[in-house]
């Protein structure tokens, strides 16, 4: 259950990171609400997962999932450039997250 919650929390990290970029300094209410709710839910899930997973592993997986999804979404939506090298590097992050799960 901890791994499921951790992965979900990593997805929520991507949600709040993307929403933060759209708040325009917290002047736009809707993205600000999404940011706050996503941040709180993501942190609660990370804290829950850390009750039974090592801190270093949990944090690395959480950050890796969030970073890969945030960058992937930005490339898919045209906010960041898309290149084969960038995709390959993001897949490397995903491979490392999977590796941490397999070695746990």
The gap from C-alpha 42 to its chain's centroid, in whole angstroms, comes to: 9
pLDDT averaged per 10 residues in sequence order, the chain, 104 residues: 96 98 97 98 98 95 96 96 96 94 86
Phi and psi of 24, rounded to 5°? 50, 55
Residue range of the domain that includes 98:
2-103
pTM above 0.85, yes or no: yes
The number of domains in the chain is 1
């Amino acid at each position: 259950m901890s791994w499921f919650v951790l992965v979900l929390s990593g997805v929520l990290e991507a949600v709040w990171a993307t929403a933060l970029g759209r708040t325009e300094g917290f002047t736009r209410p809707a993205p600000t609400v999404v940011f706050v709710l996503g941040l709180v839910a993501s942190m609660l899930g990370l804290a829950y997962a850390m009750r039974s997973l090592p801190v270093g592993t949990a944090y690395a997986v959480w950050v890796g999932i969030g970073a890969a999804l945030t960058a992937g979404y930005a490339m898919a939506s045209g906010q960041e450039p898309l290149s084969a090298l960038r995709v390959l590097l993001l897949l490397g992050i995903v491979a490392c997250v999977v590796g941490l799960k397999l070695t746990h």
